[in-house]
Amino acid sequence: MATKQDILQLTFKEDISLGFEFIPINGHYARTQPNLRRPHRASFYLIFWFKNGTPVHTVDFHPIHPQPDSFLFVRKDAVQFFDQQNLFETSTLLFTDVFFCETEHDHRFLQSSPLFNDFIGNQGPIPVSVTSQLSDLWLWMQREEQQPADPFHTVLLRKYLYSFMLEAEREQLKQGKGVRMQGANFEYFINFKELLEVHFRIEKGISFYADKLFISAKVLTNITHLMLGKTPKQLIDERVLLEAKRLLVHTENPIKTISLYLGFDEPTNFNKFFKKHSGQTPAVFRDSFLAVITMA
């Protein structure tokens, strides 16, 4: 899609081949760094330890209100926006899936973790309160990151990170904020979500995804209803709507360009779709955010 202004894409620093890094971010840094003064996608996973302040961190239109001494997990490619008004301080861990995923099991762990995935119902990331176990593991990772590279360095960092996320999941469940799903139906559901992420712009019919999964449309419908209480069509429409909102608010592309990019033959069909699912036309939705988000 030829664009006047795309959503800013942040990639991992090429000179850091490991794909694992800690950086401090505070309110001043977020207001003065060009990359953080506007909404952006990150091509890596982020874990924030909010230490001070009560900022509003926006992730895909969900305003998150992390309290001091809480962790926030943001999956890669989500569009996020740092608070530009309130003071805050974080310790932030960035890591790539290439760093973390040695095996297919590791990949499935990231895709199925409630830390990075909303399996409860479109509410955005859920902060997890800090515990002594989590803070200890965090400090171990920080200390190891500072060590000279040797045959144990990457392995230890990966194991510490894996342990940290398992402990965070446990704490999330204790706090009643997440849910861990398992079983064959969940595997189909995760595979459907992965296919949807790749094909949602062009393929909007249930049968395409069911065929790719080698199951019937009826079975896929039963699975998504069991997992989220929604039909595959609802999930497809939600994914298209999310991308439409991202492009309307975070770029200056004409509505016609956005509609074509999202697979609509005519802008009028896109307008009908958007109004049906959001209650507003694309133009009204875009205008409603102009006073809220300043594009740097």
| 3-state DSSP assignment of residue 177 | coil
pTM equals 0.86
**Beta bridge mates, 90:** 25, 50
**Each residue of 49-78: pLDDT tens digit?**
999 999 999 998 889 999 999 999 999 999
pLDDT band at 295 (very low <50, low <70, confident <90, very high): very low
Phi, psi dihedrals of residue 138, rounded to the nearest 5°: -60, -45
20-26, strands of its sheet edge to edge: 20-26, 88-95, 45-53, 70-74, 128-129
What does the alpha-carbon distance between residue 41 and residue 6 come to, in Å, rounded to a whole number? 10
Q: Which of 189-193, 224-228, 265-269 has the lowest mean pLDDT?
A: 224-228
| 3-state DSSP assignment of residue 17 | coil
Confidence check: pLDDT of 120 > 70? no
| Residue 176: count of CB within 10 angstroms of its CB | 7
10 Cβ contact partners less than 8 Å away, ≥ 6 residues apart: 35, 40, 41, 42, 43, 44
What does the alpha-carbon distance between residue 202 and residue 32 come to, in Å, rounded to a whole number? 38
Q: Which of 146, 95, 91, 139 is nearest to 116 (CA)?
A: 95
Exposed, middle or buried by CB within 10 Å (0-12, 13-18, 19+), for 42?
Answer: buried
**Each residue of 35-44: pLDDT tens digit?**
888 888 889 9
Q: What is the mean pLDDT of residues 253-260?
A: 94
109 Cβ contact partners less than 8 Å away, ≥ 6 residues apart: 162, 165
What does the alpha-carbon distance between residue 72 and residue 48 come to, in Å, rounded to a whole number? 5
| 3-state DSSP assignment of residue 220 | helix
Q: Which of 21-30, 142-151, 230-239, 284-293 has the lowest mean pLDDT?
A: 284-293
Exposed, middle or buried by CB within 10 Å (0-12, 13-18, 19+), for 154?
Answer: middle
What does the alpha-carbon distance between residue 259 and residue 250 come to, in Å, rounded to a whole number? 15
What does the alpha-carbon distance between residue 254 and residue 111 come to, in Å, rounded to a whole number? 33
Q: What is the mean pLDDT of residues 164-175?
A: 91
Please answer whether residues 214 and 187 qualify as being in contact, where contact means their C-beta atoms are separated by less than 8 angstroms.
no
Q: What is the mean pLDDT of residues 128-150?
A: 94
What domains can be seen in the chain, in order of their start residue? 8-174 (2.60.120.280), 184-290 (1.10.10.60)
pLDDT band at 179 (very low <50, low <70, confident <90, very high): low
Q: Which of 21, 22, 24 is nearest to 89 (CA)?
A: 24
Confidence check: pLDDT of 292 > 80? no
59 Cβ contact partners less than 8 Å away, ≥ 6 residues apart: 74, 78, 79, 80, 124, 125
Q: How confident is the model at residue 17, as a pLDDT?
A: 67
Q: How confident is the model at residue 6, as a pLDDT?
A: 77
Amino acid identity at 137: L
Confidence check: pLDDT of 296 > 50? no
The per-residue pLDDT of the chain, averaged, comes to 88
Confidence check: pLDDT of 1 > 50? no
